[in-house]
Structure 1
Amino acid sequence: MKRLWLWLAVVLLAALPARAQEEALTVRALPVKSFTLFSQLVTFGGLEWRGGLELASDDERFGGLSSLELSEDGTRLLAVSDRGFWFKADILYTDGHLSGLDNAVMAPILGPDGKPNKGKIRSDAEALAGWQPGKIDGKVIVGFESRTRAGLFDLGKNGFKARFKDLKLPKAAVNGPSNKELEAIGRFASGPLAGSIIAISELNKDENGDIRAFVWGGRKPFEFAIKQYEDYAITDLAILPDGDIITVERSFSATTLPGMAIRRIRTEDIVAGGAVSPSLVFSGRMPIYRIDNMEGIAVSKLNGETRITVVSDNNYRPEFQRTLLLQFALKE
């Protein structure tokens, strides 16, 4: 009988979902004193420098940050990695400029079964957005690229034990070229597209060579296109307080120096079947600017300014690439 009870206990424990272990980690934050390598300029196109950090950790889970969100006041950060982890930290400021991180934690992103996703293909989180702007401790959306899907996670109710709840992407959004699909996602909280979700592919192009984008979850789903800027690929988006979209875009290959572009899309220009030409806020490359494999962008408010924060993905190769967290004020 004792053996029978022991066997039953083992079976029941095996059936329980794996727990999301939120673990603290030490992150080193080296100040990035200037955005340029050769001057002390603070204005760059439509941006003004508000400090930066180069992040590193001895924890092998840290790295690969592909998308981020900031709390409304810019004091807390939530990010996802392309190996399927949450990363959360408090942001420190000195005289209104980024100066450090504190209380950093990581945890695995859970699937619908309550267990961490297995393998790179299922764990490839590339997009993150709050269900409501600036609410990183509520419901959030995560987009996955390699096995393309988007899910809702109720962090407010369940913390990092939250499970994936399918948001049912439009079929056309999952039919792009391999590893060039879902990279950016957001939700409109107000305006003509209120309640709708927007997703932008990395380099899934239509017959005109424009980048495909999808809007669904609102009154009527539709598709539109975005004109590509040079050789840049869209890697993330954030929605500004006025409802416009701001994108971060990267140029990153074996034959070119890393480049970053930031563009702005007016909401009123988004129409079903149309193609938009975003306005350029900034573009630049190494070695003039401190740029790496830029993948994430977030919007917050601080000192009366709209702040734009971007992060780079080091591809888990800290010996060659950096995790840069850079912040700017948006000139409006």
Structure 2
Amino acid sequence: MRLKLILGLLAALTLAAKADPIAISTNPLNGFASLSNATDFGPFLWRGGLELTSSDETFGGLSGLTLSEGCTSVLAVSDKGRWFRAALAYEDELLTDVSGGELAPMLDSKGQPLASKANGDAEALAGLGAGRYMVGFERRTRIGVYDIGKAGLQARFQLLKSPKALAGGPRNGELESVGQFTEGDWKGHYLAISENNTDPDGDIRGWLWQSEKTVPFAIKRLEDYGITDAAILPDGDILILERSFGASLLPGMAIRRIKAAAIGMNMTVKPELLFSGRAPFYAIDNMEGIALCKRNGETRLTIVSDNNFNTALQRTLLLQFAYEP
């Protein structure tokens, strides 16, 4: 009887951990700007956008994403501890649809679903190569590695050693961005940036580290914006996504570029502003995730918004631009 009970529990956990198909409806956006037909926004050229909806109540809260080679599929994490994966379709090089959607619970090191909001608050996702991904968790701050290339969406959490300072900052304002440099002076170093963990000057804290060496730095704050994600360019520079979001403000989005050469021990960097705008003048919501991919020779930038599972007032937007610096 005891053996049957154990086997039954193991079977139940296996079923709970598997990826389930999910039906996603897509509403293509007419454009990014609401008051014009503009397609150029500084260095960003419009390449299509979608509003994603589903009757499945577990869909939403997308907060970090990566795209495959050729920008043909998306992998994302939600702040309730779930994976979302889907294929992307294009017409005339514009993003037009998603298909083959899957949802799966993120697993801990023992293969069990992350059980609480505090444990499952995944806020950042970045590829490490060879099918491995690093995920940053905010409320119970930590960084994990998932070997999806080997185990699919049933991959288990493997703790990545990171600076203790990452856990600082106000509640729900800690770790928001992760990555790893593949080229340049910081090759091999990991990157983490907080949302609202600030230094005495009010600037936002970030860290680079490799083995036992940590390089803390700060990012000069932009108005009322908080940093929600980052993407590392091939030359080692960093694009940061920032959002302004609150009950008394129109939702805003900004993108800035940090020069890799400007980062140093305890240095404060002032990124170059590439774009800023607010709803309803642009298709902007609670913008949370940013990722880079290459498609037909273009560097594509894809941005996702977190609807906070509040479908009455917020949207899940998936926007794509070509980036031509």
1:103 maps onto 2:100 in alignment = yes
Structure 1 counterpart of 2:198: 205
* Aligned equivalents of 2:40, 2:79: Cα separation in 1: 32
Amino acid at match of 1:147: R
Count of equivalent residues: 323
Structure 1 counterpart of 2:51: 54
Q: Which residue, 255, 277, 298 being the options, matches 2:270?
A: 277
1:189 maps onto 2:182 in alignment = yes
Structure 2 counterpart of 1:113: 110
Normalised by the length of structure 1, the TM-score is 0.94
Q: In the alignment, is the contact (CA less than 8 A) between 1:17 and 1:114 conserved in 2?
A: no
Return the offset for 1:214. 1.0
In structure 1, list runs of 5 or more residues that go unmatched.
1-5
Structure 2 counterpart of 1:11: 6
Q: Which residue, 51, 70, 79 being the options, matches 1:82?
A: 79
Structure 1 counterpart of 2:242: 249
* Aligned equivalents of 2:225, 2:239: Cα separation in 1: 15
Which SS does the other structure have where 2:218 is aligned? strand
CA RMSD between the two structures: 1.3
1:242-298, Cα deviation, whole Å (9 max, x unpaired): 221111100000110000001111111111110111111110001111100000000
- Percent identity, please: 52
Structure 2 counterpart of 1:65: 62
Q: In the alignment, is the contact (CA less than 8 A) between 2:126 and 2:178 conserved in 1?
A: yes
* Aligned equivalents of 1:166, 1:298: Cα separation in 2: 23
1:139 maps onto 2:132 in alignment = yes
* Aligned equivalents of 1:14, 1:258: Cα separation in 2: 45
Aligned pairs for 1:142-291 (under 5 A) are 142-218=135-211, 220-291=213-284
* Aligned equivalents of 2:312, 2:6: Cα separation in 1: 44
Amino acid at match of 2:166: A
Return the offset for 1:219. 6.8
Which one is further off, 69-78 or 13-22? 13-22
Q: Which residue, 291, 316, 320 being the options, matches 1:327?
A: 320
Return the offset for 1:9. 2.1
Which SS does the other structure have where 1:37 is aligned? coil
Q: In the alignment, is the contact (CA less than 8 A) between 2:146 and 2:157 conserved in 1?
A: yes
Which SS does the other structure have where 1:103 is aligned? strand
1:52-80, Cα deviation, whole Å (9 max, x unpaired): 00000001110000011011211110000
Return the offset for 1:303. 2.2
Return the offset for 1:169. 2.2
Q: In the alignment, is the contact (CA less than 8 A) between 1:17 and 1:115 conserved in 2?
A: no
1:161-218, Cα deviation, whole Å (9 max, x unpaired): 1111111221111122111000011111222111111000001001121100011135
Structure 2 counterpart of 1:25: 22
Distance 1:17 1:276, change over 3 A: farther
Q: Which residue, 128, 144, 156 being the options, matches 2:125?
A: 128
Q: In the alignment, is the contact (CA less than 8 A) between 2:183 and 2:234 conserved in 1?
A: no
Q: In the alignment, is the contact (CA less than 8 A) between 2:41 and 2:275 conserved in 1?
A: yes
Return the offset for 1:14. 3.2
Q: In the alignment, is the contact (CA less than 8 A) between 2:182 and 2:234 conserved in 1?
A: no
* Aligned equivalents of 1:219, 1:71: Cα separation in 2: 31
Which SS does the other structure have where 2:13 is aligned? coil
Structure 2 counterpart of 1:299: 292
Structure 2 counterpart of 1:3: none
Q: In the alignment, is the contact (CA less than 8 A) between 1:193 and 1:218 conserved in 2?
A: no
